[in-house]
Structure 1
């Protein structure tokens, strides 16, 4: 079976590794000629780490990242709102790992090349056009810099895992337009700094109009320093999506730092963290509307190409990895390609649509908004105005919606299918 994967991001590469594990030999096409470890930090929740562990990558993830063991929500005054154990400390069979996105992508790329061979990872190939039918697909590629044709490739099935600006999605929905802008701008960066709250905690502080996020993504035993990923978020009045060319542009500290001048919490001094950072990146918080359909003939969507969501609750990358594993499972176990595509879309489109809409309503961060609305002053009685059970219900419901309730995840069947095995029969 000829399988084409458009995009060598985390979702596309996880799909390649999963399909290879199941006995297929897909081919990956990536527009970038020389991938580099770009970006900042991301969180891999236990249901994502489980899937990568089943691909044999857990030791690598532990070596490159940090095993998160706690989530802490704070008010804008630094007052504790909610804290919960995470990963192994919360009873999961798999850890939660915070990692540099570029390091994760390069790890997945190395493993894909090792297992599939260099001939099946084609860099510098931009998808120019796509023809799809009930029998297969034809993909046309060009060189990004020159527009020179790199030929066409026929296949039985194609996966569009080419991100929020997906060429595959645009082929199916040519009039969709730019992503939806929330009005919030994120300034993101990494910086070496002393560890805080034990060195393995994620911190969320503030409310929907102003927020700080900080968590470690790498420890250096030699120096004792920790690489901290931080995000400063401000919501403005504009709802017009910035041009694509302005995404990930160098940020100006003067545009946001004054708003955070007083955000000095125990062990987390926001102004000091920002001032110690050399390079800051700015980009809009965006998503896209859920789609009524992902699959057209023998082509389908995956990851941010299918369901880009606001970065709330650490679910963007995780859901893309789940897409990849579910797709591979169904392609290996269904009676036909068309049945596999239908099963994949049925399982994943409904689930991710719910998450996109939940994130638009603040997801688990809603607990911070309730505190801002009902107990905005540092001496307000938090327990009286936002009872513990209400806060717990928000956290539990988000886990249920996004698929990482500990009991459910620990007992769910495995998506691993090995050639010649009884598909789906094992648990891990």
Structure 2
């Protein structure tokens, strides 16, 4: 089978991390190619939070206006009990002294925003959909990806100077690099997620995190600038309910199972907020997604030679710290910087991994600790205990002074040879 296509960098996965990597590499003078297994990229999913560190990187890629026109800046986090009594508040984004806001945004809309930028800047063929990577092999000067075109079933060989796996928590490339990685680790919590449009959602632009004595949690925040412009608000909500035994997750999980309001509402029967009607939020969502809350133990290494990992493929973690998308974006920027400033791509990938693996491993473990504290429920939480955990987490992920003073990750233009 001969090589059908080649690129400086082959990126596996057209999600947030993969598309940000493509934009960053292109800005540095490379010709990347994105391979996405889905036959069509659509604005799927629910809300996420982009921390100031990620907003800075997307701003340096020229996307500040698009972010502002899509997401909602989060002014703070509000921790409450199941009756809406405030336990602790924490300023976020600009209110916390960062030079960049924290945006709450629909994951699918962010992905489409990035996809549009990639195609406008690099051409319509920069992202190939329906292409499933099934394996790879390395030679001294290149990586050859074995792929399947899902449209017609034909197989191809695509050559790259580097192969970057940004193919998510179920990464094919990660499994090939680490066949002994073991199963996903479940903390015993089931998550239901949805998006509901309502008339209003006070208080302000806060991200609300509430819990009761049974360790049941509820998280909600606004995610749509367009809805606010129409006098409405689009609320992303997450219900987290413990009910299983923590441990390795079996392979028979249906990751596409739709959730139902009937599954959720009994867990919140005695909840009542002055500023929101939970039954209205939960039943008003057009689609409810159900997932087990999982992560993986940090890896001792990510890649090998000219192959590396990025985003959830490298460091999947609990969503407790609202940092998954942010860390994928930073991965992408550091990757492009190292490739642009290092002549040898193998050395560049080693430097990228050294820069990012320790940091993201610490964040995965910090997410576990935040989840552990959160699952104490309202009866075991206090403003003091929450403040201690959030302060520790902020030191792990980077305080405002550190981000504000850090040098730019925008590299000079450049390229590397084989």
TM > 0.5 fold call: yes
1:205 and 2:210 matched:
yes
Matching residue within 379, 393, 399 for 1:398: 393
Aligned counterparts, 1:26-45, within 5 A:
26-45=32-51
- Specify the alignment match of 1:246 in structure 2: 254
- Specify the alignment match of 2:233 in structure 1: 226
Kept in 1, the 8 Å contact 2:47–2:105? The answer is: yes
In structure 2, what is the Cα distance between the partners aligned to 1:242 and 1:248?
A: 15
Kept in 2, the 8 Å contact 1:81–1:368? The answer is: no
- Specify the alignment match of 1:416 in structure 2: 410
2:244 counterpart SS class: coil
Matching residue within 79, 83, 103 for 2:89: 83
In structure 2, what is the Cα distance between the partners aligned to 1:387 and 1:36?
A: 40
Q: Give the direction of change, closer, same or farther, for the CA distance of 1:222–1:334 in structure 2 (3 Å limit).
A: closer
Query: Deviation of residue 135 (structure 1)?
Result: 3.0
Kept in 2, the 8 Å contact 1:42–1:100? The answer is: yes
In structure 2, what is the Cα distance between the partners aligned to 1:253 and 1:205?
A: 19
Matching residue within 236, 248, 261 for 2:243: 236
- Specify the alignment match of 1:288 in structure 2: 296
1:325 counterpart SS class: helix
Aligned counterparts, 1:321-360, within 5 A:
321-360=329-368
Deviations 1:60-117 (A, max 9, x none): 0110111111110012332211102111122111011111100011111111111111
TM-score by length of 2: 0.92
Query: Deviation of residue 244 (structure 1)?
Result: 6.5
Query: Deviation of residue 222 (structure 1)?
Result: 5.3
2:69 counterpart SS class: helix
1:171 and 2:176 matched:
yes
TM-score by length of 1: 0.90
How many residue pairs get matched? 405
Kept in 2, the 8 Å contact 1:40–1:101? The answer is: yes
- Specify the alignment match of 1:380 in structure 2: none
In structure 2, what is the Cα distance between the partners aligned to 1:94 and 1:280?
A: 32
- Specify the alignment match of 2:60 in structure 1: 54
Q: Give the direction of change, closer, same or farther, for the CA distance of 1:78–1:343 in structure 2 (3 Å limit).
A: same
Kept in 2, the 8 Å contact 1:367–1:394? The answer is: no
Q: Give the direction of change, closer, same or farther, for the CA distance of 1:209–1:146 in structure 2 (3 Å limit).
A: farther
1:144 and 2:150 matched:
yes
In structure 2, what is the Cα distance between the partners aligned to 1:259 and 1:26?
A: 47
Unaligned runs of 5+ in 1: 375-385, 421-428
- Specify the alignment match of 1:2 in structure 2: 8
